[in-house]
Amino acid sequence: MRKPMMAGNWKMNKTFSEAQELAKAINGAVEPYNNVDRVICPSFVALPGVAWALSGGELLLGAQNVHWAESGAYTGEVSISMLKGMVTHVIIGHSERRQYFGETDEGVNKKARALLAAGMTPIICCGETLEQNQAGETSSFVSGQVKAALASMSGDDVVKCVLAYEPIWAIGTGLAATAQQAQDICGGVVRAAVAADFGSAVAEQVVVLYGGSTNEKNITEIMQQPDIDGALIGGAALKVEAYASMVQQTSELYK
């Protein structure tokens, strides 16, 4: 059975000290629910402090981006070896990075393969715009993003990836996809794209998250869907009680 995951993307929020306080509070609130992978992804600057504050705990740490090169003249970038030992997961290809920072499918693929080679878990994001959704292009666009992100990988590599479907129109809008819509794309498009390129045995093992206005009120219905294994959470992941409740509800469903 796929282990569920509640991953918190803190985006560009919280100072160095605020991040440590929030991480400690979250850790205290979610520690007992160990049948759920609980990942928090603070900013690069906050990561060392949060890692120190959480040392010895079970909460997993992730970054929000990485560069694929080992080192070199890439001003402002952070390499995998700089993160290794501090984080286990890295979000790549988030729509905000694609939209504002020119991240491409090709770059996402390079990052994913470099992370796997380093023994780390890429959380690979995909998702369509409102215009694409309304034009009926969701399936072809999202399927293309998934296939491009996983290009040149082996099935053994693909099962180590986490895929996150985040429709852009649902991010930060308070307008989550319905549980059925999320299921249709997570299963019928994301997992189906993996099955088409790597076979159904691989597709059945890969963890698929939904993201976009998830919260403590809609998480149970979303997590009841057979092809949704977790959530990539933005705003609600910054609220201790909301995030802890989402972890707890997920834990209940997987008992």
Active site residues: 94, 166
Q: Which residue has the tokens 């796997």?
A: 116
Residue 32 to residues 25, 27, 35, 37, 102, Cα–Cα distance (Å): 13, 9, 9, 11, 40
* Site track 95-134 with ligand 13P (rule: CB under 6 A), x = hit: ----------------------------------------
In this chain, which of 28, 32, 119, 172 binds ligand 13P, going by CB under 6 A? 172
Selected from 27, 145, 214, 251, the binder of ligand 13P by CB under 6 A is 214
Range in contact with ligand 13P (rule: CB under 6 A) among 12-20, 76-84, 199-207, 208-216: 208-216
> For ligand 13P, which stretch binds (CB under 6 A), given 29-37, 107-115, 229-237, 241-249?
229-237
Q: Which stretch binds ligand 13P (CB under 6 A): 31-39, 102-110, 136-144, 164-172?
A: 164-172
CA–CA dist 139, 204 (Å, integer): 19
CA nearest neighbour of 22 among 44, 49, 55 = 49
- Give Cα 234 to chain centroid, integer Å: 10
- Residue 9 touches ligand 13P, criterion: CB under 6 A: yes
**What tokens were used for 253?**
């469903």
For 181, other C-beta atoms within 10 Å of its C-beta total 16
Tokens in use for 196? Answer: 């088409």
Judged by CB under 6 A, the residue of 212, 216, 218, 223 near ligand 13P is 212
Site of interaction with ligand 13P (CB under 6 A): 9, 94, 166, 171-172, 211-214, 232-236
